Structure 1
């Protein structure tokens, strides 16, 4: 796989006019008009009551349409405001956030462990925005968004990994049966959010530890080192590990679904078809299908007789989780976790710009990770890794939940099979508006 930069985005005058109308599209209309509109130009349903074959050719998204969807799903929107107050920390600022920037979707305590891949007819890409600093790309000076800066910031983050679309056989178990006719269809854009659950778990262990709680191993019914440390405010009341890991899975999944939900809302405003769905096998996408002919994204995959499923851990040099083999051991995982927060550009670094009137003073006031805290946190991470053979111990290291697919809609299908109102006026006018 290569790492070729993407070309600069050119926005035509017609597209600028269309974007101006897009920015005025009502939020309520986007929410109420959201539907899963799966039938694209060039599509075909071969049998059944809704059988139909498109008379129009496959039409990939334009560069501008693609950038708009990706900006809405992945974009950096300004500075993370952090957690303003916690009586147990005062006068220190809580030290939860993982990044200084805010994005288009929420993250529990600002952990932000999600990154993005996408694939279309032009290839497969990685789009990292997790630690990107805001660059004024969505600033509104009264005359509207700077379209070139907004979309340009997104396009600049594309990293092309392959000239081919991710290939999955159109059959089960790679695709759910009801998606075999349409998922990852030619002409479509498929956005794939991916969460680092290893890092998210470490963030949660740190969160509980900073608030005086340890964890215990409820799977094997034994304590986890440091969980009953006498210096913890709640030393006698640890949380069960399975709860913390399910909490981690749920919080990260919220990032995944809300990011693509934003994109789904945009599709109606753009007049594009598509939907959010989870009907593609995540192991096949990541590269753990077990079939060498179906490499997916090519993630490194670990196997262990203790686990019910193989465990993808990351894509070397692209998306590496805080889990072995991408880190040497628990100590390095915790070091990198702490460095993301306090290192250059991190939310706890006084030199990092931010939203406050005296940003250096606010950032410098955050509660530090002292040696005792890092020792206890490292002990917990090491125990989980050694006991279960991976991080996290009871849920996957990498999580995929919902995908977003965007495509040009064939309104003829809806006119033929549906009553009026099956698509929005933006869908009916899309070609004349955007092309």
Structure 2
């Protein structure tokens, strides 16, 4: 594999980025700086073995161009708009993404990027450091406090898959000066993929399951649809830990109740000035929304560099995707769900053996779920276990210095989590434990549609050149 298109090092990718940056700086008038970067970049680019020309273009594609050129480009090969001012019927058959194209996209959305950098300081924690993180590894998108509860599913013409990266160790060498072979990096992610079905996920093109403005283009043959799913129950426990660590407890403003038993934790939290439960869950929703959206946005930027069409959207019924629509003809991903007169919508808790929410029925009690989250943080492989490798010169000392979650602390968190679960019949109180907001779809663009209906500039040079640079078509 040494001479294959997959054998591309991080150093060489960095060189390509330097080359693109040097070109941009030169054009902006920063001549000497631009020339120095181009020289360094050309040296590194000279070491790239044979690979698709489009890959070389992608790794040196300017970030500024990706940002300014990003558009929702929905019309893929094989699509049809039957009528209206933008009516068009594609003359081409759909072309699915190649394995390389798909893996570059998936690792841009869900990829592990080494060890995350913990929050290093808080005066109130001294001599300890803050202890918010749930994962030791970092990914291509941010997560509030480094909690990271998001995992990824995707579907294409060949099946439906699960790509877990949430608790992956660093898939890059800890020595940032070392070369990282792209083949090894993509292979490390490919090995984590679990195939769930041989079929594309079935989502009917009807109002019960899909916004009808997406019916002609969403989840079509040839496309790859990426589905981020967050564990709101686990993130909710993490937030309770954060609140208690910062002397905050909750008050149930929805029912008008104080949480029974919270008084005995007055040494940990300010029981006289509690935070409203409704506000705490608004924050939970906002944090998860940011996480799933920034992951998809990272993928959108990669689409521009690869010259693929697609877009970030939310117009598919999440219950249809998860398998909780109530329609037996639409099994979705097959997640477990419950219904109750107390809830206006199904309560989706997890996919057994794949992605299980930190709540019953996947844990016997909320105490079990809280203790499992504490173990994720402080146990082997966790961000605060001294034996977990990391980016620091004294990693063991740094990881071992996090503020602990002692039994009294765990009891306080459990008291609030158990109250919510017993009062509302689920955890969190106001939302499903499994959270979906946005999807990212990728497909090969039908340039004829844009040439016919748009002025020049409707797509980027990477789109114009894609079939030639990636597929060898004239």
Does TM, scored on the shorter chain, surpass 0.5?
Answer: yes
1:151 matches 2:162: no
Q: Residues 12-31 of structure 1: matches in 2 within 5 Å?
A: 15-31=51-67
User: For residue 371 of structure 1, what is the aligned residue in structure 2?
Assistant: 407
Given candidates 282, 289, 311, the residue that maps to 1:253 is 289
Paired residue for 2:311? Answer: 275
Partner of 1:207: 242
CA contact (8 A) 1:213 1:238 kept: yes
Structure 1: unaligned runs, 5 residues or longer = 1-8
Contact 2:110 2:165 in 1 (8 A): yes
Quote how far apart the aligned CAs of 1:20 are: 2.4
Displacement of 1:15 in angstroms is 3.9
Closer/same/farther in 2, CA of residues 233 and 315 from structure 1, 3 Å limit: closer
Pairing partner for 2:335 from 282, 288, 299: 299
Residues of 2 paired with 1:53 and 1:377: CA distance? 57
Determine the structure 2 residue equivalent to 1:198.
233
RMSD of the alignment, in Å?
1.6
1:141 Cα shift?
4.8
In the other structure, the counterpart of 1:219 is 254
Q: For residues 5 and 323 of structure 2, what CA distance do their matches in structure 1 show? A: 34
State the 1:47 CA deviation: 0.8
Higher share in helix: 2
Deviations 1:205-262 (A, max 9, x none): 1100111111011111111135443203523111011111111111011110000100
Q: Answer with 226-235 or 180-189: which moved more.
A: 226-235
The 5 A counterparts of 1:408-419 are 408-419=444-455
1:166 aligns with 2:201: yes
2:210 aligned to 175, 198, 207, which one? 175
Larger Rg: 2
Corresponding position of 1:423: 459
Aligned position for 2:92: 56
CA distance in 1, matches of 2:299, 2:174: 16
User: Unmatched 5+ residue regions in structure 2?
Assistant: 8-48
Map 1:254-403; keep pairs closer than 5 Å: 254-403=290-439
- Following superposition, the deviation at residue 354 of structure 1 comes to 0.7
- Distance in 1 (alpha carbons) for counterparts of 2:384 and 2:165: 18
Give the Cα separation in 2 of the matches to 1:10 and 1:37. Answer: 28
CA distance in 2, matches of 1:20, 1:433: 9
Greater relative CO (CA pairs within 8 A, separation 6+): 1
Instruction: Look up the SS of the partner of 1:29 in the other structure.
Output: helix
Q: Distance in 2 between matches of 1:11 and 1:337?
A: 37
Contact kept in structure 2, 1:260 and 1:402, CA below 8 Å: yes
CA distance in 1: counterparts of 2:417 and 2:178, whole angstroms: 49
**Structure 1: how far apart are the matches of 2:6 and 2:156?**
20
TM-score (norm 2): 0.87
Q: Secondary structure at the match of 1:429?
A: helix
Give secondary structure in 1 for the equivalent of 2:104: helix
**Which residue in 2 is equivalent to 1:32?**
68
Instruction: Name the counterpart of 1:5.
Output: none
Assess if the C-alpha contact under 8 Å between 1:227 and 1:238 holds in 2.
no
